[in-house]
Structure 1
Amino acid sequence: MLYRNNGKTYIKTDLEAVITSYNQGNMILEAVQSICNQTLLPERIIVVDDGSTDQYSLDILNSIKNDVNLPVPITVYFQENQGVSAARNTGINKTQSSMVLILDGDDKLEAGYIENVSELLSKSPDMVIASSWMRTFGVLDAVVCPSGGTIVPFLSHNCCPATHILRKKFYEQCGGYDESMRSGFEDWDFFLSMLETTPEACIGIVEKPLINYRTAPASANIKSMDKRRELMRYIIEKHNCSYRNNITDVLLDIETISNSRLLGWENEIIHSINHHQELSQLSASFIKNPSYGDGGMASAVRIASVAR
């Protein structure tokens, strides 16, 4: 569909964007602008503010709401603070399109995100969600490459960014985001719910860093790691049937991840020994008393062999 605004012609698709916001000041403006700069525009942008208390942030939201020069119609909703899951559900339930883009208010998109990701979705009717790799900025400058896939890899770890495009019919089928999950991992839980809607369901990933993901030491994502075991227990119990049906693959996947990290640590210790660098207290303790039954002792033997 072609859309004209201020003398310019844009291409639009059967997709609306939902941005969640909470005391994010100018960051929400950057998020909105990143959608307005897309090569393929959404039908509408819906911003859901989850009870911001900062007046400057509220002023920014009101300026966005009243900006008639944006190339996409925009609606801003204000609600009492209920958590990001509730804010996303509010926004998604107000959409009328078949696909919905989910974006956090402190992140940004590269100009080709919607075009590339929606194209991937269009090629596979079994794909319930699609997203892309991420480029982090802030305290960490890196490219993160989630893999997507069927439900099996998602049972051991999250394989998709929180920013994604979903098919609304599957969202309605799974019941949306779990609004009781206010401590984190709500996106991982939601992806599992979406993947449980049909046996053929999968999540696709465009292998380009099209999401700019803001990193900070005090971010909700970092804080949620303090409760990882508790949150994982909730997810495992909630999706118990999927875990029971795939228990062998889940355990083997976790073992692969664990061995990969152990090997990385082993190589760092060997590097330090080869360059006559003092080992950290944790590394030295590991060599003196290696763990048993998890590959730790074998790793310590390899390290000791290099040191001789």
Structure 2
Amino acid sequence: MLRQKLVSVIIPAYNAQNTIIDCLQSVENQLYKNIEVILIDDGSIDKTFETALAFKSLNPNMTIELFSQSNRGPSAARNEGLRCANGEFVVFLDSDDKLDSSFIEKCLINFENNPTLNLVYSGVRQFGRESKDSYFGDFSLNRFLRTNVIPVFAMVRRSHLLAVGGFDENLRNHEDWELWIRIISQYGPFVCQIKEPLYHYRKRIERDSITDKTEEGNNIEMSYCYIYKKHYEFYFKNGFGIYDLLVKSKYEEKYYNTWYRKLFYRLKRKN
């Protein structure tokens, strides 16, 4: 039964000519073979599309669909890939990263062993500028509503993604967190982390990845506030009104500069 499930690996790619072969080879090397690759070239100005096309021609046994669009950002590229996908399950793989050969197989085994699961993900192995293994900690709804603890590469049911409408293209960062909030609010907090570093995340020497830019930018607070206001009812239902957040964190110094405190002061200034 496991072998009958098609998995769609969706790869948003922008100026990834130097890494896209490594990325695609990691999919080719999966122990689980019933996979389709949907690659969306998001307006690259290098040879990303041509490089991927050459890889496809040299690997006729792989199912690889290539599409190109004007530059609209990773959320729009992932949504376009989702519209083209046919798999029962979906994995979003960034074009400069790689999957361990057992990633898809182990995710599917967890889904098969526990049909109530909505999201399955693994730990991360960093390579490139930094080299270390890291994990996301044990999941709890309380912790998840404070900050994202589920990575964008989690395996998820395509039917769930379509039902909630895919990624919110208004967000330029934390878009995965906002998507997971919608899935969890609708289908429940049934998630699983595989305690192995099966996703290989490239830390670029140039510090120009989307994650690096997000970490260095000043728009994180705005994204958090947008997410909280969009999902206010779900937060409030789970005891996370803005005042509850502040009271619960009153004596916790580590939360002094967190997003919900900044949101409170922003709202207070408007009154």
Structural mapping, 1:166-205, within 5 Å: 166-182=156-172, 184-198=173-187, 200-205=188-193
Equivalent position amino acid for 2:51 in 1: I
Aligned length: 249
- Is 2:203 the partner of 1:215? yes
**By how many angstroms is 1:208 displaced?**
0.3
- Is 2:3 the partner of 1:24? no
- Secondary structure of 1:26 counterpart: coil
* Equivalent residues of 1:41, 1:114 under 8 A apart: no
**By how many angstroms is 1:150 displaced?**
5.3
Structural mapping, 1:90-169, within 5 Å: 90-147=80-137, 149=139, 151-169=141-159
**By how many angstroms is 1:259 displaced?**
6.1
**By how many angstroms is 1:201 displaced?**
3.5
**By how many angstroms is 1:213 displaced?**
0.4
**By how many angstroms is 1:255 displaced?**
4.8
**By how many angstroms is 1:63 displaced?**
0.8
TM-score by length of 1: 0.73
Q: Which has the larger radius of gyration?
A: 1
Identify the residue that residue 301 of structure 1 maps to in structure 2: none
Farther-moved stretch of structure 1 (146-155 vs 234-243): 146-155
Alpha-carbon distance in structure 1 between the residues aligned to 2:93 and 2:125:
15
Provide structure 2 residue ranges, at least 5 long, that are not aligned to the other structure.
257-271
Give CA deviations for 1:225-270 in whole Å, capped at 9, x if unaligned. Answer: 3222111101111111121122359849x859x66799xxxxxxxx
* Equivalent residues of 2:17, 2:51 under 8 A apart: yes
Structural mapping, 1:1-308, within 5 Å: 13-54=5-46, 56-67=47-58, 69-147=59-137, 149=139, 151-182=141-172, 184-198=173-187, 200-216=188-204, 217-225=207-215, 226=217, 227-247=219-239, 251=245, 255=249
Equivalent position amino acid for 2:8 in 1: E
Equivalent position amino acid for 1:36 in 2: E
Alpha-carbon distance in structure 2 between the residues aligned to 1:116 and 1:83:
30
* Equivalent residues of 2:13, 2:48 under 8 A apart: no
Cα pair distance change 1:148/1:73, threshold 3 Å: farther
* Equivalent residues of 2:79, 2:167 under 8 A apart: yes
**By how many angstroms is 1:81 displaced?**
0.9
Alpha-carbon distance in structure 2 between the residues aligned to 1:20 and 1:44:
14
Equivalent position amino acid for 1:188 in 2: W
**By how many angstroms is 1:122 displaced?**
2.0
Alpha-carbon distance in structure 2 between the residues aligned to 1:148 and 1:94:
33
Alpha-carbon distance in structure 1 between the residues aligned to 2:170 and 2:179:
12
Cα pair distance change 1:255/1:206, threshold 3 Å: farther
- Secondary structure of 2:93 counterpart: strand
Provide structure 1 residue ranges, at least 5 long, that are not aligned to the other structure.
3-10, 263-308
Farther-moved stretch of structure 1 (224-233 vs 214-223): 214-223
**By how many angstroms is 1:126 displaced?**
2.6
**By how many angstroms is 1:219 displaced?**
2.0
Alpha-carbon distance in structure 2 between the residues aligned to 1:167 and 1:239:
22
Alpha-carbon distance in structure 1 between the residues aligned to 2:131 and 2:254:
22
Identity %: 28
Equivalent position amino acid for 1:31 in 2: C
- Secondary structure of 1:166 counterpart: strand
Alpha-carbon distance in structure 2 between the residues aligned to 1:161 and 1:76:
24
* Equivalent residues of 1:150, 1:202 under 8 A apart: no
- Secondary structure of 1:173 counterpart: helix
CA RMSD after TM alignment: 2.7
Alpha-carbon distance in structure 2 between the residues aligned to 1:14 and 1:57:
26
**By how many angstroms is 1:205 displaced?**
1.0
Cα pair distance change 1:91/1:51, threshold 3 Å: same
TM-score by length of 2: 0.83
